Amino acid sequence: MRANKTPKKPPSLLSPTGVIKLVTHAMMGAALGLAFGLALTLSNPAVANLLNHGGSQAILVFALTLVTTFAIGATLTGVVFIIDEDKEF
């Protein structure tokens, strides 16, 4: 007869799999930040006008700010999701 096996616990944040999950969430956030920046620039002529007159520095700061903000937010959301998964088991 087989003994009842307990289900394996999903990996925590500090395991290699947890780190890969967090990096994946950060990359998704960065992609969403770029997409949001593009949509904002295309849909709002005032933003496009500001970026045109600001030069390449303004475009770089605009893009990096959005990418960083979205990536940090997605990573923190990923932390919450992974911790919630750990508590279910």
Q: Rounded to whole angstroms, how far apart are CA atoms 31 and 67?
A: 7
Which of 88, 85, 89 has the alpha carbon at shortest distance from 77?
85
- Mean pLDDT computed over 35-41: 95
pLDDT value, residue 35: 97
- CA-based Rg of the chain, rounded to a whole angstrom? 20
Instruction: Give every CB contact of residue 29 below 8 A, 6+ residues apart in sequence.
Output: 67, 70, 71, 72, 73, 74, 75
| Rounded average pLDDT over 59-70 | 96
pLDDT at 88: 67
- Residues 7 and 33: their CA atoms lie apart, in Å, by 37
Measured CA to CA, the distance from residue 83 to residue 13 in angstroms comes to: 8
Q: What is the DSSP letter of 27?
A: H
Decide if pLDDT at 42 tops 80: yes
* Residue 1 structure tokens: 């007869």
